[in-house]
Structure 1
Amino acid sequence: MAFDKLFSPIKIRGLELKNRVMFPAMGTKMATEDKFVTQQIIDYHVARVVGGCGLNFSEVCSVYAPAAPKKFLSIAGDEYTPGLKKLTDAIHIAGGKAGVQLWLGGLAVGSDPTAMIIIPSPMPVPGTEYTIPGASLETINEAVKAFGDAAKRAVEAGFDTIEFHAGHNYVPHSFLSPFFNRREDEYGGSLENRARFSIECIKAIRSNIPEDMPLFMRVVAQDDYLEGGLTIEDIIEFCKMAKEAGVDVIDVSRGNFSSAAIKYEVPPVDLPRGFNVENAARIRKETGLITVAVGRINDPSQAEGILESDKADMVVIGRAQLADPEFCNKAKEGKVDTIIKCVGCNQGCYDGFVSTEMPFITCMRNPALGREAEYTMVKTDSPKKVLIAGGGIAGLEAAMVLKKRGHNPIVCEASDALGGQFALAGAAPRKEEMREAAISRGKQVVNEGVEVRLNTPVTIELIEEIKPDEVIIAIGSSPMSLNIPGANQPNVTNSHDVLSGKSVVSGKIVVIGGGLVGLEVAEYIHGKVEDITVVEMLDQVAKDLGELRKVSVMENLYVGGVKTLTNAKCIEIKEKEVIIDKDGNTESIPCDSIVVAIGARSRNFDAISKYCEENGIRYHAVGDAVRARRALNAVAEASEVARVI
């Protein structure tokens, strides 16, 4: 498929773009503590420009110095212009176009206690006696001027376009939404009054940029989970006002961080692909504005279909370009099967962003994210034969990197299929894309020319036959068993066997273990059984899920009527009941079958490691073979090992 519409040019005022793909503003934690551009940010953007993207937007860029948080880019003073100019120069030299997203974060700047929080109306801080005051007229006027000054700097820094962020709970959105805005002056009350702050900002931006420079605006399609908030009809009227004030393009997003609607901002695999496209199509039709569709667009055929059906003029392909910076080039050249697709796991991009342990975002499917310069593929000058034990997602990653570097990897997988537990995870509801990704990665490895042997466990005899120079052990983990009376009864099975279809359960079910796998098993069997109770010994279920996947999974469990018991330890299994200790009291749960999902334990590879040590063969253990963890860690370790061999 040629994807003619996706890769057709578009002209907006004086800006000519070579295609309809936009790389959006996404938080990276790659800026300096004092808000300057880094070489890391430049390398990150240039990789996507070289990969064929039509328009790159910077991550959120603060316009007002008192409200500019640390570790986020800023354009609130002239001192930031040289660094931003270095970014735009690099993007232009690489053949791309650069946009800057002008931002005033409101409650979002709370991550930095020194940053000023600007909100329209007073807001009590839960658990304290403090109330955040509503913005004064003086602050509002200063903020409006700051947007204009920032726009002027953006022109000086060489940006081709600007995006005004009026969504996601940030200050313009909070003024616009009646949920947040309870003012009684000229900035509150009617929609026209609530829109006043945004319209003044738009006019300030427009008056400080050339006539032929287009102005984008990001909005939410509606206020989800906010009672009495904005409707899509309100947004359409606001967009008409913004058009009159000088906005050219509407970038239609969704979500807010004041409710469960945060799941729409960085939508996990649980949300349908393209879930927000129809909203963009309606806004486009009713405003006549050039419109960008957003929301889990991760496939070129999907993007082409959106454009061909006239639902949008451009598409945001964000996390899909985190997963594969060559997404656009591969699609344009018809090499769709080689694209490494985003699967909406959120492990590296969102969980990594909010984590205090990760220095910057990463990607489970692309460990080179944020390390573009450091991880440039370097060909080896001494090719080695490397035996990889295990064809799961970690083993496949190691094989691909080794092959591209010029080594000779041989993948030996004990089962009859590649993909391992990543493929198994795809059996859970709404996670089909993970299974598809595992299968696709296996095919990519084979197509790259890697030798793959299925139904071939790695034994001492096999190592003696292959005579590898080095060995990578990626044999993963297996489910842990309960060590309590009755654990071996015939009505007891484990999560892996249920998800793989080896075990079929019916009647009343108790799932022991309320982590990710236990909850996914509960969802998997829901509708096929009579009743489900999840028993978790910790104080809450879903502790090992990322925030946004947790929102989605817990909502589905609630709707499905799945019961969860916390602070409950399973102490005995009988023929038709499970005995638990809950808060020091012994209780009985009637059931027909028990599914154990208490975690996984690394498979033993002592024989392999001992043989390698005795025969001077260097070996490396990666992923769950070291310790059962998330796929993010497994892939990152495999990639790192394969880059140093």
Structure 2
Amino acid sequence: MAFNSLFSPIKIRGMELKNRIVFPAMGTKMPTADKYVTDQIIDYHVERVLGGCGLNFTEVCGVHDPSTPAHFLSIGDDKYIPKLKELSDAIHDAGGKSGIQLWQGGMATASYQNHDIVVPSDTPMYGTSEIIPAASIETIKEIVKSFGDAAKRAVEAGFDCVEFHAGHNYSPHAFLSPAFNKRTDQYGGSFENRVRFLIECIEAIRSNIPEDMPLFMRIVAHDDNLEDGITIEETIEFCNLAKKAGVDVLNVSRGNFSSAAIKYEVPPVDLPRGFNVSNAERIKKETGMITIAVGRINDPEQANEIIESGKADMVVIGRGQLADPEFCNKAKDGDVDNIVKCVGCNQGCYDSFINPEAPFITCLRNPALGKEAEYKLVKTETSKKVLISGGGVAGLEAAITLKRRGHNPIVCEASKSLGGQFALAGEAPRKEELKDAAIAMGEMAKREGIEIRLSTSVTPEIIDEINPDEVIIAIGSEPIKPNIPGSNLSHVTNSHDILSGNSTAKGNVVVIGGGLVGLEVAEYLAESTDSITVVEMLDQVAKDLGQLRKICVMESIYAHDIKTLTDAKCVEIKEDAVVIEKSGELQEIPSDSVVIAIGARSRASNDIVEYCEKNNIPHHIIGDAVRARRALNAVAEAAEVARSI
């Protein structure tokens, strides 16, 4: 499969790209506290350049140093130029083209600091009564000059192009959108006044870069979930003005962090693949500008069709290249089956980015993300036979890594198929891609020549027969069986059996447990039941979901009219009702079927451990077999163990 359109060159001013694929600006938490490029960032980018990407953009790079938070890149002072040049040089040496995204964060910086926050109008500080004052005319002029100065530094640092970030309710977008801009001076009110700040920034950038250097601009197609937000018609009108001011390329995104529309910025699996392409297509048609499509583009066939049909000129493949840095090379070579696809889980990229305890972003599908140098696969000098108990994603990750290092892994899976809980999770609404990924991972293991035994539980006899040098225990978890009177009644089942098709529920259904699995089971059953009530002991449902997936799941729960009861404890299950305790009182919820979804516990592996210890066989327990957690943790542990053997 050739994907000729996707891998055709494109020339923009004086810059020629070898293909139409852009690695976009994505936050990593890899910069230093004082905002410098690190070797980690360089390794991260070079890996994608070597993987065949056409154009790599830095993550957001602050143009105004006082308003750029710690651990973000800055280009707000000459002192940053040498390290930025190291990055651009490394990208060039690897055969790629480099772009830098020029950024002023506006309200976004309030999450990191309480000073130098540039907003168009008086804005309440998150969760406080404090008001952030509107930027003065002097501050606006200072920021405009900062964009120009930053562009000049970008040239000195050797970048091939620059991108002006005018989206995602950062400062430029906030000035443009009437949802945020309530000014009454020359920078607010009319459309002409609202675009003034952005046009001045564009002109400042353009006047400080060479004539043959392209200027990209990231925009949102329109505002979502905002009263009086900007329309696509206004966006198109602004883009035509920006074109006259010197912008060459439109990077058409969507979303804002002030509402549920943040889900469009890092779209989870719940959103359709390519959900924003139609907006890029319309903007391209009505501006005549080179346009980039963005939004869950994770498949080369999909990307090629976008270019081939003229919907856009280029595509952003961001998380697709986080999941597989070799995405471009594999697609160009037609090796599509071996592309490790992003599944939109958001666990490693977005959830880790906003988690203060996570040092930097990672990826469920690629544990080497952010560890490119230290996680290079090193061939073993002593090949070992390694028995892996469990063919879920953790077991498969370990097996594939071991095989590529020169070991001889043997996977024994108790069930009839590979993929484990990850494949089961793919039965939930909108999560088919997880099931597809689990199946693809199993097929990849087979192509690697890994011996796989299905319907085979690992017992002392199996270990004795295989006689391994080491053992990895990756047998996962199983549903918790609650100690609730009535939980053994015939109309009571569990979430795993529902999703696997081994059980059904009908009539009035009560789901015990309002975490991720409970809510997904409720959604799964919503079309075939009379009513569904979810009972949760905690003060809110969906506490174990990441922010963006939670938005999507809760929207669906609301749309399906699924009732949720929080601070409610199930104390008994009867033939026709579930008894709960809420606010110190007992209540009965009529029910025809009950689904238990209160979590999972590790499967017992005592017999394997005891046999290994008795026979001095080194063994490793990973993933949910240690304790039930996210797939991200399980795969990370598998990768680490497989590199240590």
TM-score of the superposed pair, with normalisation by structure 1: 1.00
The residue that corresponds to 1:261 in the other structure is 261
Partner residue in 1 for 2:597: 597
Distance in 2 separating the partners of 1:190 and 1:218: 22
The aligned residue for residue 307 of structure 2 is 307
Indicate yes or no: 2:319 matched with 1:326: no
Q: CA deviation at 1:341?
A: 0.2
Q: Give 1:111 shift.
A: 2.7
Q: Deviations over 1:230-285 (max 9, x none)?
A: 00001000000000000000000000000000000000000000000000000000
Shift in Å, 1:126: 5.5
Deviations, residues 392-450 of structure 1 (Å, cap 9, x unaligned): 00000000000000000000000110000100000000000000000000000100110
C-alpha contact 2:222 2:231 (8 A) present in aligned 1: yes
Aligned partners of 1:126, 1:643: CA distance in 2, in Å?
A: 44
1:85-136 Cα shifts (integer Å, max 9, x gaps): 0000000000000000000000111132254110000012365332110000
1:621 partnered with 2:645: no
- TM-aligned CA deviation for residue 584 of structure 1: 1.0
Q: What's 2:508 paired with?
A: 508
Q: Could you say which residue in structure 2 is the equivalent of 1:230?
A: 230
The answer (yes or no) to whether the contact 2:268–2:549 under 8 Å persists in 1 is yes
Whether contact under 8 Å (2:44, 2:369) holds in the other structure is yes
Cross-structure match for 1:96: 96
Q: Kindly provide the CA deviation profile for residues 521-548 of structure 1, in whole angstroms up to 9, marking residues without a partner as x.
A: 0000011100000000000000000000
d(CA) in 2 for partners of 1:179, 1:111: 20
Alpha-carbon separation, structure 1, partners of 2:5 and 2:640:
38
Alignment of 1:538-577 (within 5 A): 538-577=538-577
Question: For each residue in 1:121-162, what CA deviation from the matched residue of structure 2 results, as whole angstroms up to 9, or x when unmatched?
Answer: 001236533211000000000000000000000000000000
Instruction: Report the equivalent of 2:180.
Output: 180
Q: What is residue 520 of structure 1 aligned with on the other side?
A: 520
Structure 1 position 79 matched with structure 2 position 68: no
Provide the rounded CA distance (Å) in 1 between the counterparts of 2:100 and 2:585.
59
Counterpart amino acid of residue 481 in structure 1: K
Structure 2 partner of 1:52: 52
- CA distance in 2 between counterparts of 1:505 and 1:625 reads 29
Matched ranges for 1:349-498 at <5 A: 349-498=349-498
- Report matched runs for 1:236-255 at 5 Å: 236-255=236-255
* Equivalent in the alignment of 2:298: 298
Matched, 1:145 2:145: yes
Residue aligned with 1:82, SS: helix
Aligned residues: 645
Partner amino acid for 1:18?
K
1:161 counterpart = 2:166: no
Aligned 8 A contact 1:69 1:114 in 2? no
Closer, same or farther: CA 126–301 of 1 in aligned 2, 3 Å:
closer
Q: Is the 8 A contact 2:515 2:544 kept in 1?
A: yes
CA contact (8 A) 1:69 1:115 kept: no
Between 164-173 and 108-117, report the one with greater CA deviation.
108-117
2:292 aligns to what SS in structure 1?
A: strand
More displaced 10-residue stretch of structure 1: 122-131 or 279-288: 122-131
Q: Cα RMSD over matched residues? A: 0.6
- Alignment correspondent of 1:109: 109
CA distance in 1, matches of 2:511, 2:290: 50
After superposition, the Cα gap between the structure-2 partners of 1:281 and 1:340, relative to the gap in structure 1 and judged at 3 Å, is same
Separation (CA, whole Å) in 1 of partners of 2:126 and 2:380: 57
Deviation of the 1:482 alpha carbon? 1.4
Pick closer, same or farther for the CA change 1:126–1:322 going to 2, 3 Å.
closer
**Does residue 585 of structure 2 align to residue 582 of structure 1?**
no
Q: Residues 363 and 369 of structure 1 are in contact (CA less than 8 Å); yes or no, is this contact kept in structure 2?
A: yes
2: CA distance between counterparts of 1:339 and 1:410? Answer: 23
State the alpha-carbon separation in 2 of the partners of residues 434 and 485 from structure 1. 35
Q: Provide the residue aligned with 1:206 in structure 2.
A: 206
Deviations 1:565-590 (A, max 9, x none): 00000000000000000121100000
* One-letter amino acid matched to 2:131: T
Matched-pair contact (CA < 8 Å) for 2:9–2:16: yes
Q: What is the distance in 1 between the residues matched to 2:125 and 2:58?
A: 31
Structure 2 residue matching 1:527: 3-state secondary structure = helix
Alpha-carbon distance in 1 for matches of 2:130, 2:518: 40
Following the alignment from structure 1 to structure 2, what is the Cα–Cα distance between the partners of residues 253 and 445? 36
Task: Give the conservation status (yes or no) of the 8 Å contact 1:419–1:442.
Answer: yes
Deviations 1:347-406 (A, max 9, x none): 000000000110000000000000000000000000000000000000000000000000
Instruction: Report what 1:643 is aligned to.
Output: 643
Q: Is the 8 A contact 1:324 1:340 kept in 2?
A: yes
Unaligned runs of 5+ in 2: none
Which secondary structure does the structure 2 equivalent of 1:578 belong to? Answer: strand
Q: Distance between the aligned counterparts of 2:30 and 2:191, measured in 1?
A: 37
CA distance in structure 1 between the aligned counterparts of 2:559 and 2:112, rounded to whole angstroms: 37
Q: Which amino acid aligns with 1:180?
A: F
Whether the 8 Å CA contact 1:69–1:111 is kept in 2: the answer is no
What amino acid is the match of 2:616?
G
Residues 106, 118 of structure 2: 8 Å contact kept? yes
SS at structure 2 position matched to 1:151: helix
User: Hey, what does 1:279 align to over in structure 2?
Assistant: 279
Counterpart for residue 341 of structure 1: 341
Gaps of 5+ in 1: none
Tell me the SS of whatever aligns to 1:526: helix
Mapped to 1, the partners of 2:376 and 2:280 lie a distance apart of: 37
Q: Any idea what the Cα deviations from partners look like across 1:1-42, whole Å, max 9, x if unmatched?
A: 100000000000000000000000000000000000000000
Q: Is the 8 A contact 2:110 2:125 kept in 1?
A: no
The separation in 2 between residues aligned to 1:74 and 1:642, in whole angstroms, is 37
The residue aligned with 2:43 is 43
CA contact (8 A) 1:389 1:473 kept: yes
Letter of the aligned partner of 2:17 in structure 1?
Answer: L
For residue 459 of structure 1, report the CA deviation from its aligned partner. Answer: 0.6
- Which residue of structure 2 lines up, in the alignment, with residue 14 of structure 1? 14
CA distance in 2, matches of 1:115, 1:474: 48
Q: Distance in 2 between matches of 1:113 and 1:106?
A: 11
Letter in 2 for 1:268: P
Equivalent position amino acid for 1:9 in 2: P
Answer whether contact 1:398 1:638 (CA < 8 A) is retained: yes
Which whole-Å CA distance do the structure 1 matches of 2:123 and 2:555 have between them? 27
Amino acid at match of 1:65: D
Instruction: State the SS of the aligned residue for 2:493.
Output: strand
Residue identity opposite 1:176 in structure 2: L
CA distance in 2, matches of 1:631, 1:65: 38
Instruction: Give the aligned partner of residue 136 of structure 2.
Output: 136
Q: Matches of 1:55 and 1:238 in 2, distance apart?
A: 25
Paired residue for 1:120? 120
Q: Which stretch shifts more, 110-119 or 413-422?
A: 110-119
